[in-house]
Amino acid sequence: MYDLIVIGAGPAGITAALYAARSNLKVATIEQGAPGGQMNNTADIENYPGFELISGPELSMKMYEPLDKMGVENIYGIVTTVEDKGDYKIVKTDDKTYETKTVIVATGSKHRLLGVPGEDTFSSRGVSYCAICDGAFFRDQDLLVVGGGDSAVEESVFLARLAKSVTIVHRRDELRAQKVLQDRAFANDKIKFIWDTVVKEIKGDDVKVKSVVFENVKTKEITEQEFGGIFIYVGLDPVSNMVSDLGITNEDGWIITDENMKTSIPGIFAVGDVRQKTFRQITTSVADGAVAAQNVYQYVIENS
Ligand code: FAD
Ligand code: NAP
């Protein structure tokens, strides 16, 4: 029986596990992929205190390495369900079952699909959701980035280092992204903008993407333009399927907690991007993890 199982080893889950282990709890993380979560999908992190500039994969490893030393058991697996048995919980992966006094859900979010014809057909054949993973395949090409948030704008700046040009298409006439990122994109000669416009269709041949059909939402004008690659950054959806039967999510699947990261089920906590909240950052995820671990400790002490 573990004191705590943390599902997901992004910045929120790693911090929760670290703090809980420092309180001498018996802790395991279960992670389905590379530790660090979404941090692995960004080249440059410039807003994590202590580092003027650090790559996402490097920060991931710096966060993750201490877990082992602190005695955290790091398990590889995809968690499929969490069951509440009152004073203990059952966590199931595709091939194993674990018992634990408490659970912290730290499963983050996944990129949202654009949902237009051609997106699925040309996924991995010119359509990508990760500039750091795929950007190098598109050297010296004309690229399109869809979206107007932090991800779209920040990743456009990254892509502009290697592409011939980057066009950002946004459905409104102003960006959602942080001012500092906007300024950087506006100052970059390689980055162009198409405003008030949505993607209607992605077209290509048998091999790869060739062009994109746009619609101007104000004039309704339809145009078509050629691109070598398309990067889609239109927001995130929660990864909370493993707790969807527990009644702890809102209608969109984000997990509802109080300020102590407690869900409505005693002993089940949630942290980081998977939580219903307004500001999703590495710093806010890390803070959630620390707060949750402290409350897990209190729960374990009071229920032992
Ligand atoms: P995540 O980082 O999403 O980690 C969740 C982990 O859970 C993943 O490792 C996943 O594999 C695992 N998992 C999910 N489901 C399961 C399951 N069923 N079983 C086992 N494991 C599971 N924030 C900043 O502050 N600065 C930045 O510069 C920045 N750049 C970004 C760039 C991009 C392109 C994106 C998409 C986000 C960026 N962010 C940035 C936001 C930041 O990455 C997130 O806020 C943060 O990573 C959230 O941490 P998390 O631990 O809650 O979730
Ligand atoms: P986001 O903030 O939700 O932005 C999504 C963007 O896509 C918005 O501009 C939205 O338009 C647009 N959009 C949504 N659906 C669309 C559709 N169907 N068609 C066309 N456009 C659509 O998502 P994100 O940029 O991925 O950021 C997610 C979280 O990670 C945020 O909390 C962000 O702060 C964080 N993050 C931080 C950093 C950083 O700190 N450097 C970097 C990346 C991400 P509207 O603006 O009109 O809604």
Cα 296 to the chain's mean position, in Å? 24
Q: Is any atom of ligand 2 closer than 6 Å to the C-beta of 277?
A: no
Query: Ligand 1, atom 32: nearest CA belongs to which residue?
Result: 42
Active-site residue among 68, 87, 120, 133?
Answer: 133
Kind and range of the H or E run holding 302: helix 282-302
d(CA 297, CA 303): 10
User: What's the confidence (pLDDT) of residue 304?
Assistant: 84
Q: How many helices (H) and strands (E) does the chain have?
A: 6, 17
Beta strands in 153-293 (DSSP E): 165-169, 191-194, 197-204, 209-216, 222-226, 229-232, 236-238, 268-270
Question: Residue 169: helix, strand or coil by DSSP?
Answer: strand
- Verify whether ligand 1 is closer than 6 Å to residue 12 (CB atom): yes
Residue from 59, 132, 150, 153 whose mutation best tests the ligand 2 pocket (most atoms within 8 A of CB) = 150
C-alpha span between 282 and 10 (Å, rounded): 9
Reported as half-sphere exposure (CB side, CA atoms, 13 A), residue 298 has a value of 12
The residues with which 84 forms a beta bridge, in sequence order, are: 89
CA of 77 to the centre of ligand 2 (A): 29
pLDDT in tens, 19-58: 999 999 999 999 999 999 999 988 889 999 999 999 999 9
- Quick one: pLDDT at residue 85? 97
Q: Ligand 2 centre and the CA of 112: distance in Å?
A: 10
Ligand with an atom nearest the CA of residue 55: 1
**C-alpha of residue 131 to centroid of ligand 2, in Å:** 15
132: exposed, middle or buried (C-beta count within 10 Å: 0-12, 13-18, 19+)?
middle
Round to whole Å and give the CA distance between 136 and 43: 12
pTM to 2 decimals? 0.91
Which of 234, 280, 284 to mutate for ligand 2's pocket (most ligand atoms within 8 Å of CB)?
Answer: 234
Which residue's C-alpha comes closest to atom 6 of ligand 1? 8
Residue type, 48: Y
Q: Reply yes or no on whether 140 is catalytic.
A: no
What pLDDT is attached to residue 164? 98
What pLDDT is attached to residue 229? Answer: 97
> What is the residue with the minimal CA distance to atom 43 of ligand 2?
151
Look up 130 and say whether it is catalytic. Answer: yes
Please report the pLDDT score of residue 43 as a whole number: 84
Within the chain, which residues score under 70 in pLDDT?
none
CA distances in angstroms from 142 to 69, 166, 227, 245, 265, listed in the order given:
46, 6, 5, 45, 50
Task: Please tell me whether residue 61 adopts helix, strand or coil conformation.
Answer: helix
Rg (CA), the chain: 21
- Which pLDDT tens digit goes with each residue over 52-75? 999 999 999 999 999 999 999 999
Phi, psi of 66 (to 5 degrees): -65, -20
